[in-house]
Each structure stands twice: as structure tokens, then as C-alpha cells.
Amino acid sequence: MEGVADPRILIPARSTSRRTQVVVEQGIKAFFGGNALVAVVVLALITIFLFREGFGFFGQNLANLRLYRQAGLEYVDIIRGVSMEHESLSRKLSEIRLREVRTMEKRNVPLEEINAKLAPFDQFASSFSDTAETLHSLVSDLTEKASALKEKLFAQAELLAQRSQLERAGAQAEAARIVVPEVDRTAALASLHQGAATYESVSADMTAKLYSLFAAAPPLPDPAAQKNFEQWKTRTREYLAALPAASEKLRTWSSEAEIPWYRSLSSFLFGREWITASFWQDWYGIIPLLVGSIMVSIVALVIAVPLGVSSAIYVSEIASRHEKRLIKPYIEFISAIPSVVLGFFGIAVVGQAVRAASQSHFFKWVSFFPISERLNIFTAGCLLALMAVPTIFTLSEDALRNVPRGFKEASYALGANRLQTIGRVLVPASLSGIVSAILLGLGRVIGETMVVLLCAGNRIAIPDFTQGLGAIFQPVHTMTGIIAQEMGEVVRGSTHYRALFMVGLVLFTITLGINYLAQKLVTRFRMSIG
């Protein structure tokens, strides 16, 4: 019949087309599936390598801690701690004097009159510093003895390790040629123990001098400075009361006491010092780095959350179409700015502006102003806030837009105005999404490297929280910053090298937890609006 196609001709054409479509679909599936598999394998290899290199730190650090005790360094550090506390008290006196000078300068008091009024205090501070001269000399003498013993024990351990390695390799002849010198630890430690009796006499003499010095302590003109001086006296009396405890530690200390395996872990997780390349003893405590990262992140979120969430609410619910076309691209464009450019901006503009503002007369009422460091927690936090705003803004806006339209219409139908609808309906309904946006912004902030490396000041120390809000204007170091700064200089396989991997593991765990919590909140948000 004319006009009717033969079905026998159409079937092969359909089959060929179907086979081609199946091949294309399988090719697409193999392409994306293969790339996904490669990504999983690469991430797995990175994770395995990170854990392998990181956990090797604990064995090496435990060996260092045992050498630290066997060489008597721990014994000397008991006396060193007393000496360093005295130095800290001396620095505190200098800070009290500096604040008093700044207070008088604000009152336009001439420099000659300032020096004349503070002359008795300067004499008191000088006398206080002189009371520890004998203690400092004792520490210096014991340090030389303990350092010499440590070098001998370290060299002995290195030779024993070389000989053991050759013996395992079957090179018995070469192993026999390695001569391991004997180290007389007993005589060396006995020489250190003689310092205990000397310390007791030195501490008793220093205590008597300081109590007599307190009796002649001069008053300070400014009431605030006098209050700080009284607090210093209280701290000094506590210091003197603790001197007998140090003597007791010296008497009970033993170089043969076993160091438990968990000491390596606890010294890393709860240690307050990060000291590397030291002739005395290296310490790898993550607390100052963790505190620095947390404080910088908190400052960044305090600035970024109001800006990001408020701008998302405005663009989503209030702004006109033309305003949306202007505001949204500019906010999202910030994420395209290289972090190193933002770091230079922080050094040249933000840090300098903050320090100049602290020196102006307008802020003279702030107790911790002026500041001397332009690179600090606040400077780094401001720049990180700028980087976090696009993330918080975009995700918060998506969360607000995903709220069902019926919620808004029902609110208007009940007589609520726009602000009431936003505050009581839209924001509560999208709260899980907004919180997840904030958490992802936190993950963006805490993992940033270049900005904190350039703008945080890179001082490995816990801020002085006694200054209140003034603590955020102090320099710190962060976990990401320490890795970027020191990884290129360490010897592969060394304790320092593995310690940096452990810092990376802690950072990895923190960011993983933040992202997991954010994903859980996103899932909860989707279920609540579904």
C-alpha cells in the first residue's frame, strides 16, 4: 500500500540508534565514574600518607622525652622555670611603667617630670631584677653540664642505631668497627644534683631580699597603675610561696623514672610551647597554635556572620531586581580575589589603619590602646571575614529561597508585615541552612593559610587574656601558618617533620567535623521543608 512505511526497514534504524545511545550513555558513565574513582583513590592515598607520617611522630617524640630526662635536662628545667617566672615578673614591672608613662603623656606631662615621678619605681624595678642574678648564674652553669651530657648520650644512641642497622643487614664486620663510647651518667648527674643544695640557699636569700624590698615599695601616681602594681605584688608573693615546692621536686626527681607512652600524646595535645631547633630541648605543644586558629576564626565569624546573613536576607527578600543584579555579583566576586592579595592588603592598609586608630585621641578611653603590633588577631580576622562573607551569603540566600512559598503567603494572609515575616517565619524556617552556611564559612576560615601567615603576626604564644578584649590585638600563630612556614625547612623524617603532619591531622579532624556537622544540618533542613 502506498504511503505506508515497511516496518522491516524502520526496526534496524531504531535498533542502531538505540545501540548508539546506549554506547554514549555507557561512555559518559565510565568517564564520570572513572574520574570519581580516581578522586576517591587520590583522597584515600593522601589520608593514608597523612596518618602514616603523622603517627610516626609519637615514637620519636617519646624517645626525645626520655633523652630529656636521662640527660638531666628535666632537672635543670625545674630551676629554669623559677628563673623564667622571675624574668616574667620583671617584664610585668616594665609594662606597668610603660602604661603609667602613656597615661601621663595623655595628660601632657613633660618627659622630665615623668622620669622624676617614676624614679623611685625604676629603682625598685632594678633592685627586683638584681635579686635573681645568682639564680640566673646557677641555671647557666647547670645548663652547660646538662647540654654536654645530652650531646654525649645522643651521639651514643646514634652510633648504637647505626651498628644495630648494620647487624640486621648482615654486615657484621662493618658493625664491629663502630666503636660506641661509654658515657658516665652517674658522675654527670651527681654534679647536677649538687645544684639542689645551692638552689635552696639561693631561693632563701632571694625570698628574704624580696620581702624586705616589698616593705619599701613606692606608690604610683595613677590609681589604675597602682592597682596593677598591687596585683603584681600578689602574684610575686604567690611566686615566693611556690619556691619550696620546686625544692621538693628537685629532691624527689630521678633520671631513672619511666616515662609512660601516653606522655608523648599528652605533651602534644596539651603542651603550651612550640619550640623547634633548640640546643636545649624541642617542644611540640599544639595549644598556642590551636588557640591562635580559634581566636582568628572567632573574630572572622563575628564580623562575617552579620554581614553575610544580613546581606542574604536583604538580597533575597527586600532588594529590587536592579539592586540584586548589582549586589550579588559583587559579593560573590570577593571569593575570586587571591588570598595573597588580601594578605598584602591587610599588611599595607588594614593593619596600619587599626594601629593608627588605636593611637588617635578618639580611642584614648580604651585601656589597651594604643597597640604596638599592626599584625595581630584582629587584622587577620578582618581579612578572613572578607573571605568568608561570599560563602555565608550564597548558602544563606539559597536556604532562604528554598523555604516554601506557602510559608510567606500564609504569614502575609495573617496580617504580618515584611519584617515580621522575615524574622518570625523565613529565618526560623531556614535556620538549619543558615547555620550550615556559617559552619562552612568557619571551615573556609580555619583552613586558610596565606592571610594568617601574612597578617596574624606569627608569634607562637597564647594571648594574654587578662587584658580582656585587648587579647584580640595581640600576635598569634595558627596551625595552617606553622605548616606553611616550617614545612619547607625541616628534614624529611625528623621529629619536627612528623610534628607538622600531626598538626595537619588535627586540622584535618577539625575541618572534617565542621563539614560533617554542616552536612547533617543541610540534610535536616531539606527534610524539614520536604
- 144 CB neighbour count, 10 Å cutoff: 10
| Identity at 205, one-letter amino acid code | D
When divided into structural domains, the chain yields a total of: 3
d(CA 133, CA 94): 18
Same domain, 310 and 401: yes
Q: Summarize pLDDT for 439-461 with one digit per residue, the tens.
A: 889 988 998 999 999 999 999 99
Same domain, 99 and 169: yes
Same domain, 243 and 307: no
Q: Summarize pLDDT for 341-397 with one digit per residue, the tens.
A: 999 999 989 999 998 888 888 887 787 888 888 899 999 999 999 999 999 999 999
Q: Which of 260, 282, 305 is the last residue of a domain?
A: 260
d(CA 279, CA 360): 44
Instruction: Please report, to the nearest 10 degrees, the dihedral formed by the alpha carbons of residues 119, 121, 123, 126 taken in order.
Output: -130
DSSP structural state of residue 275: E
Same domain, 45 and 113: no
Grid coordinates representing 74?
Answer: 628535666
| pTM to 2 decimal places | 0.84
Binned at pLDDT 50, 70 and 90, residue 295 comes out as very high
Same domain, 309 and 442: yes
Write the CATH number for 336. 1.10.3720.10
254 lies in a domain?
yes
Grid coordinates representing 114?
Answer: 615623668
Higher pLDDT, 317 or 526: 317
- The alpha carbon of 40 is separated from its chain's Cα centroid by a whole number of angstroms, namely 30
Same domain, 207 and 229: yes
CB 389 within 8 A of CB 308: yes
Grid coordinates representing 165?
Answer: 642497622
Same domain, 20 and 128: no
DSSP structural state of residue 469: G
330 lies in a domain?
yes
d(CA 224, CA 236): 18
Same domain, 32 and 130: no
Higher pLDDT, 520 or 140: 140
Same domain, 324 and 365: yes
- 304 CB neighbour count, 10 Å cutoff: 28
283 lies in a domain?
no
Same domain, 307 and 248: no
- 29 CB neighbour count, 10 Å cutoff: 10
- What is the DSSP annotation of 238-277? HHHHTHHHHHHHHHH--TTPPPPTHHHHHHHHS---EE-S
Same domain, 330 and 250: no
Exposed, middle or buried, 159 (CB in 10 Å: 0-12/13-18/19+)? middle
251 lies in a domain?
yes
266 lies in a domain?
no
d(CA 379, CA 352): 9
267 lies in a domain?
no
Grid coordinates representing 281?
Answer: 630541648
268 lies in a domain?
no
281 lies in a domain?
no
Secondary structure of 32-82 as H, E, C letters: HHHHHHHHHHHHHHHHHHHHHHHHHHHHHHHHHHHHHHHCCHHHHHHHHHH
Same domain, 97 and 152: yes
Instruction: Provide the mean pLDDT of the chain.
Output: 87
**For residue 136, pLDDT beyond 60:** yes
Structural domain including 496 reads 292-529
